[in-house]
Every structure is written in C-alpha cells, then in structure tokens.
C-alpha cells in the first residue's frame, strides 16, 4: 500500500543493508552481543575471513541437507506443508512492520533467498503498509518455519525471540483460508477495502515475470484472487467500505475544527496509488485545492488530467519543506526508507493559525513511516500513522462484520476447491509411475509378439491393430486402480482412502514413488547449494 516515489536503487540498497544500522560505514562491522545489543567497539571486516566464513556456512548447509537426505524416510510420512509466517496491523505495531517491509521491486530477490533455504521449496512475499507475510511450501514444518523466522530476523535486525512475540504462523488449510480472507478484504484494517486484492494480484504478476512462484503457491494465490473477486461481487461487503486513504482523509477532517476543515491548506507528499486515492477522497469531502509534492511532474499531470474537480498544484521534491511550511495538513505516502520529517525539520516550520486549531497535522500512511515519531514532541504538530486509523474504521465496522459472515461461505467453497486440487497432486506421481510401468511391460511383450509373428507377415494395418489391442488391454486393466487414485472432490472418497490405495499400489508394484520424490527434491536442494 505504499506509493512508489523512492527510486528502486535506493530501496535495493536499503534492503540489502538491513543487517546494519542506518548511517554506519560499510567498511566497519559493529560487534553484537548474544542479546542483540551493540558494543561501542568496531573491527574492520577482513575479506579473507568473510570468504572463509561463507565457505564454512555453505559446507554446513550442504551437510544439513545430506543429513536430511539420510533421514528422508521420516519426512515421507507427511507431505510438504503450506505455511504463512507474518505479522500485520492486528499483531504488530508500525515500528516493527516498517523494519520488515520489502519493496515490491525486491519481492523476486526475497523469493530467491527464501527458496534457497534448506527446507523451503516455494515462497511468496506479500508486503503492504498493514502486513508483511511470507507464504512458503516447506519440506519440514518445524525446520522450515525456523529458517524463515531466522531470515526475517536477519533482514530486519530484530531478534528472533522478539519477532516471535508478534508473528502468527498458520499451516495448510488455515494458511490458505487466511490468504483467501486477506484477498477478500476480511483481514484488512479497513474491512472490505479493495486495494489488497490488487496487491495480491501483483504478487502473482511479479512471480510470473521473475519465474519465482512455484506450482502450489501460484495456484493458491490465483484461487485467492478468485475468492476475493467473488466476495466483492456476491456480497455487499464493499458497499460503504473505506480505504486506508479515505480513512486518512476522514481522520484529518475529524481533527480539524468543523467550521474550518474545508478551508485548511492541504499538502500531499507522494503521488502514487495511495496518494491518488487521498486526492480522490479530498474531492469527495469538498476540498477544492491540494498541493502535491512529487519526484516527477508527469504523474501529477496525469492525476490532474483525470480529476478536474480540484485544483492540483505541483511542487518538486526540493520544495518539500517550503510547501510544508505553507500547509495545515500534511499527508505523506511515499516509499522512502528514511523519515522525510524529523523533530528538527518540524521545529523550523512556522506556527499554524488558531482558527485551524493551532497545530499542524501530519497524517502518515506510509510503511516505513515518512514522519518520525519524535515529531509529536513538537508542541505545534500532531502525528498520525496507519495504526491511528482504527478510530475512523470502527464506526462502520459492525455492519460490515455481518456482511463478512456471508463472505465466509464463498471462502469455504474456494478453499475446498483448492484443497481438492492439491490433494489430487498427491497421487499424480503414482499414476505416472504405474502407467509407465505398464507401458514398459506392454512394449516389451508387444515386441516379443511381433518378432514371433515376423515382420514380413504383417502389414501396417495389422501391426496397428495389434498395437491398439495391447494398449486397450493395458487401459482396461489400469482403469480400476486409477479410478481409486482420484481425489478431486468429484466423489465421496476421502483423501485418507485415496492415499491408502496409493500406498498399496506403490507396495504391490514396487514403485517407490514417495522416496523418489523426496530424494529428487533433496538432490535439487543440494545441487543448488553447491552451485
């Protein structure tokens, strides 16, 4: 939910440097105690030592995977788990969420790092101003979760023990249901808001462009999009619903004197998607003028062309503080990794007229935050961030909660459809191996038969008839077993019954399907780590 006014280069640099404090020299490494506190002393990084450490870590990773391969039998008893590990506006404050935020252009890189972990097969990242969630398919539930939490800790600089106090972890159907509810707007701060569906779509689009999403995660997100669309079209959950941007406008007007609210001087910093929605809702409230500070004028011109009912004044980024000095309300919605306004900046701004309330309002809907919390220490300023919007959304939440109950029926239907698809994947390897086994026998026996008859005694029509006969016999014999491997929700057979049939066929024909699959996955992981 963050506007994209910060360059991708700056964001990439920030993402790559999350393990070190802002402002530190790249040539220095702070010593960190076991408890996470930094000592005052610093030591120089030695390239040779660092390379040696990387080699040791790589060797340890390969050793761990080899050990995993030795104990593969233990992991064949359960299939890979779908999991979501994350935090949201419901579980963690913005101070923590902003440290974990991953810019959209860095999602492919994050996916690459996550799937490089020993026990993670597939991954996706959903990072917005209200949530940071990682969806994975894990070879081992406990080890996979531990690796993801450690990854999050490393990237954010937050100790894993502190992270766990705010993280939620859901598995398989619970994880899938959660994503469907997120896509439908049921888990949003603003219940029923529509922008989250666009963000879920962007996860799929980003994954397709980078080739990062695996089969299970890709299908789950696509089904989540279907669920989100159905909930919005088949229920009234979106009617009267507000967005984060509209809630921000509502909050600002609530804090201004009623008689002067529409005459207040409005400033918007950042003309991305969220910023554009702020302007839209200012128009709806009757505002006639807004100053927009943005890196480029083209985006502002496009908004001005679309929205004719308000005067939009463009100011370049270099004029930001000058524009803030002339504003009563400052909305911020950029992707900046560092605060745009600090206490020192705010103290230099001129006072606000008493008719407007005597205080300058900063409404910050960015994550990471654009306005430092210490700005609130300035007597002539008040700061509100996304966590403060709860005051606004509670007003019409009760009515939409009733509508959310209707949406759960649709969620359950789509969840059942996804689980039937995933269950059907369990038997696909056995079906393929059984058919391959039967075809090898058929081909071998057919060749013996043709040799006995003699090529000279057969014309093309006779040969084709014999081949079709052999295929027909095999298909007839396989029809019954393959029917009992179906698990697509089209009959009353349970997954347990189907898996029991699958195990029986594996034993009878010595297919060793499960062992082959797990060894193939582990081999791929080992080779990836070695490279």
- Residue 410 per-residue DSSP state: H
pLDDT tens, position by position, 348-399 = 999 998 888 899 999 999 988 999 989 989 989 999 998 888 777 776 666 6
User: pLDDT tens, 179-196?
Assistant: 999 999 998 877 788 889
What pLDDT band is residue 60 in, cutting at 50, 70 and 90?
A: low
Residue with tokens 């800790």: 153
Average pLDDT value for residue range 407-421: 91
Q: What is the pLDDT of residue 56?
A: 59
Unique residue bearing structure tokens 């959304």: 393
User: Is pLDDT of 178 > 70?
Assistant: yes
| Residue 295 Cα to chain centre, angstroms | 27
Active site residue 129: yes
Confidence bin at 522 (pLDDT 50/70/90): low
Mean model confidence pLDDT for the chain: 80
Which ranges of 291-396 would DSSP assign to H, the alpha helix? Answer: 297-306, 320-325, 343-347, 390-393
Q: Specify whether the CB–CB gap between 130 and 388 falls below 8 A.
A: no
- Where does the chain hold its CATH 3.30.460.30 domain(s)? 81-234
Token pair 């941007």 in the structure block, residue: 245
Question: 79 with 426: CB under 8 angstroms?
Answer: yes
List the structure tokens of 507: 């034993």
Interatomic CA distance for residues 8 and 104, integer angstroms: 9
Phi, psi angles (nearest 5°) of residue 17: -115, 20
CB 414 within 8 A of CB 226: yes
Q: Helix, strand, or coil here: 38? A: strand
Say whether 327 sits in a helix, a strand or coil.
coil
Asked if the model's pLDDT at residue 11 lies above 80, the reply is no
pLDDT tens digits, 283-318? 988 899 999 999 999 999 999 999 988 999 999 999
CA angle 169, 119, 507 (to 5 degrees): 105
pLDDT digits (tens, 9 = 90+) for 87-105: 999 999 999 999 999 988 8
pLDDT at 40 over 80: no
**Which stretches does DSSP call E strand in 160-231?**
168-171
**Cβ atoms 521, 119 nearer than 8 A:** no
Catalytic: which of 29, 129, 287, 374?
129
Give yes or no for residue 21 having a pLDDT over 60.
no
Query: Rounded mean pLDDT of 44-73?
Result: 55
Whether domain 81-234 has CATH 3.30.460.30: yes
Domain with CATH 3.40.50.720 in the chain: 244-394
Tokens of 244: 């984060």
Query: Using an 8 Å Cβ cutoff, are 339 and 369 in contact?
Result: yes
Cis omega (within 30 of 0) on the bond before 285?
A: no
Out of 3.30.530.20, 3.40.228.10, 3.40.50.720, 3.40.605.10, which CATH number does the structure's domain 244-394 have?
Answer: 3.40.50.720
**Of 30 and 401, which is predicted with more confidence?**
401
- 10 Å CB burial of residue 306 (0-12, 13-18, 19+) is exposed
């Amino acid at each position: 939910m963050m506007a994209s006014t910060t360059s991708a280069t700056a964001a990439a640099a920030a993402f790559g440097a999350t393990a070190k404090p802002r402002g530190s020299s790249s040539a220095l490494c702070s010593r960190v105690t076991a408890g996470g506190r930094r000592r005052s002393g610093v030591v120089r990084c030695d390239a040779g030592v660092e390379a040696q450490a990387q080699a040791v870590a790589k060797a340890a990773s390969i050793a761990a995977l080899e050990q995993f391969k030795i104990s593969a039998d233990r992991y064949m008893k359960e299939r890979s788990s779908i999991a979501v590990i994350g935090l949201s506006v419901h579980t963690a404050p913005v101070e923590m969420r902003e440290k974990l935020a991953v810019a959209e252009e860095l999602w492919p890189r994050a996916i690459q790092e996550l799937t490089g972990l020993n026990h993670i097969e597939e991954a996706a990242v959903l990072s917005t101003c209200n949530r940071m969630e990682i969806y994975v398919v894990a070879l081992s539930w406990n080890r996979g979760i531990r690796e993801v939490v450690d990854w999050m800790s490393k990237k954010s600089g937050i100790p894993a023990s502190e992270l766990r106090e705010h993280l939620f972890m859901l598995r398989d159907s619970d994880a899938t249901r959660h994503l469907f509810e997120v896509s439908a707007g049921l888990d949003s701060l603003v219940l029923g808001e529509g922008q989250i569906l666009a963000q879920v779509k962007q996860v799929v689009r980003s994954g397709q462009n980078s080739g990062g999403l695996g089969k299970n995660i890709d299908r789950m997100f696509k089904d989540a999009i279907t669920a989100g669309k159905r909930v919005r079209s088949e229920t009234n959950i979106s009617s009267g619903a507000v967005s984060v941007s509209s809630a921000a406008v509502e909050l600002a007007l609530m804090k201004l004197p009623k008689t002067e609210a529409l005459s207040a001087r409005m400033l918007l910093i950042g003309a991305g998607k969220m910023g554009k929605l702020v302007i839209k809702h200012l128009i709806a409230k009757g505002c006639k003028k807004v100053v927009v500070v943005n890196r480029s004028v083209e985006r502002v011109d496009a908004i001005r062309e679309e929205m004719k009912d308000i005067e939009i004044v463009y100011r370049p980024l270099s004029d930001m503080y000058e524009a803030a000095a002339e504003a009563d309300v400052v909305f911020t919605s950029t992707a900046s990794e560092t605060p745009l306004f600090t206490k020192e900046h705010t103290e230099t701004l001129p006072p606000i007229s008493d008719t407007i309330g005597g205080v300058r309002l900063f409404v910050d809907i960015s994550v990471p935050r654009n306005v430092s919390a210490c700005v609130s220490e300035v007597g002539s300023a008040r700061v509100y961030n996304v966590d403060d919007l709860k005051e606004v959304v509670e007003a019409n939440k009760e009515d939409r909660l009733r509508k959310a109950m209707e949406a759960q029926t649709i969620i359950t239907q789509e969840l059942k459809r996804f689980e039937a698809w995933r269950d059907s994947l369990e038997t696909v390897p056995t079906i393929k191996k059984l058919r391959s086994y039967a075809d090898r026998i058929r081909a071998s026996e057919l060749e013996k038969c043709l040799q006995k008859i003699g090529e000279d005694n057969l014309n093309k029509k006779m040969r084709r008839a014999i081949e079709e006969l052999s295929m027909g016999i095999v298909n007839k014999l396989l029809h019954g077993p393959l029917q009992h491997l179906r698990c697509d929700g089209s009959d009353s057979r349970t997954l347990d019954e189907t898996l029991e049939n699958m195990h029986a066929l594996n034993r009878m024909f010595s297919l060793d399907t499960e062992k082959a699959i797990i060894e193939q996955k582990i081999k791929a992981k080992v080779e990836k780590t070695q490279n």
